[in-house]
Amino acid sequence: MKAINMKNLFILIFMVSVLSSDASSFEKQLNTISKTYGFLQGQKTILNNSKRNHPDLKADIRIAELSFKASFGLAENNLEIKLRDLLGNYYDEFMNSLDKEMANNSSGFEYDRKTTLAYIEEVKLRAEGYIESPFKEILLAYQYKDKPGNEFLDGFVTDYTTKGHFKAKGVDMQIKFPQSWKAYQGERPNIVQKFVSENGEGKVTAMIIITNIPQDELELMSNISNYEYFSYVETDNLIPPNSKFISRENVKLDRYDGVKLIYETSGDRMGYKIKMKTFCLMTIVSEKVVNLMFAVVEEDGGTIEEKFKKNESLFELMGFFTVFPEQYSDN
């Protein structure tokens, strides 16, 4: 069966995903992680000094510490592991410098009782997720590093709607994405929005792509349902050229029949070998092709299987909670 011509679109999507994953340098990553780790160590230093200055508040301080650890203890451990990996033999030198900096900075903190009580309450609020950006996003990313779907399930999500967006072509689509991710405007005409993990510095991405259907193909499809179309269209017409097909399944995106595709694509960019594994949810809404596309990217021969497996449940959740409000306007 003839399919909507997706070849050029998928090549574009591949390049945009690569550009997103290639954007963060070693220096930028080190700067972000070291500052976030310093934020945690600064909090620890202030609380420890507060115990010495106000022994009668030790129990309250301990409650605040345990609450924060329950919420972000894994984040601290994972940040330390990442720092060791990035710094190598310079890790001990970095920690010595950080200790000195913490001592100097904490000496300027007002340890009177009123200020100390206020800080204890602030730490308790931080434990609930009330943390300034970008520390919150990085802490969430590393807290849920091994189980990204749990960030979504624990309610750390942001709502996004395409309503009124000029690239959405009239399609109103609402999704939720993790608070540790960063949203960007799509650079190209059909990319409405893209989302990148680790506050915009990660290699897991999502994109909303909405395209018009050519008039001749629209006429061909006018007599068949979404289900019929996606049941009979050939897989090769739905994935990029030279891709390795992995799986295909008819699904619903909200109430619209569609298809779920998983495939791998490899390529070269400026001398770097790049491999991408994609999880694509596709449907047709108001005579427009709607793609909710997720990708995990690795470079220089790195394996993507483990990272994809960790994120697959998150992709499923984001797809499951996608809503097209027009379907409920008459209810």
Instruction: Answer yes or no: do 88 and 14 share one domain.
Output: no
Instruction: Answer yes or no: do 81 and 193 share one domain.
Output: no
pLDDT at 65: 97
pLDDT at 37: 93
Instruction: Answer yes or no: do 249 and 186 share one domain.
Output: yes
Which of 83, 114, 143 is at the close of a domain?
143
Structure tokens of 263?
């495939």
Which of 143, 178, 209 is at the close of a domain?
143
The C-alpha torsion from 170 through 175 and 179 to 182, rounded to 10°, is -40
Instruction: Answer yes or no: do 20 and 30 share one domain.
Output: no
Instruction: Answer yes or no: do 50 and 166 share one domain.
Output: no
Q: What are residue 291's DSSP bridge partners? A: 209, 282
pTM confidence score: 0.87
pLDDT at 57: 97
Instruction: Answer yes or no: do 32 and 14 share one domain.
Output: no
In which residue are the tokens 């097209």 written? 324
Of 95, 98, 20, 64, which Cα lies nearest the Cα of 299?
20
Instruction: Answer yes or no: do 171 and 299 share one domain.
Output: yes
Helix (H, G, I), strand (E, B) or coil at 194: strand
Rounded average pLDDT per 10-residue block, the chain, 331 residues: 48 48 66 92 92 96 97 96 91 86 75 94 97 96 97 97 94 97 90 95 94 83 85 84 91 95 82 84 94 86 83 97 86 57
CA gyration radius, the chain: 24
Q: Is 30 part of any domain?
A: yes
The domain of 83 spans 26-143
Instruction: Answer yes or no: do 129 and 175 share one domain.
Output: no
pLDDT at 331: 57
How many domains does one find in the chain?
2
pLDDT in tens, 156-176: 999 999 999 999 999 999 999
Q: Is 152 part of any domain?
A: no
236: domain CATH number?
Answer: 3.40.1000.10
Instruction: Answer yes or no: do 283 and 161 share one domain.
Output: yes
pLDDT in tens, 39-74: 999 999 999 999 999 999 999 999 999 999 999 999
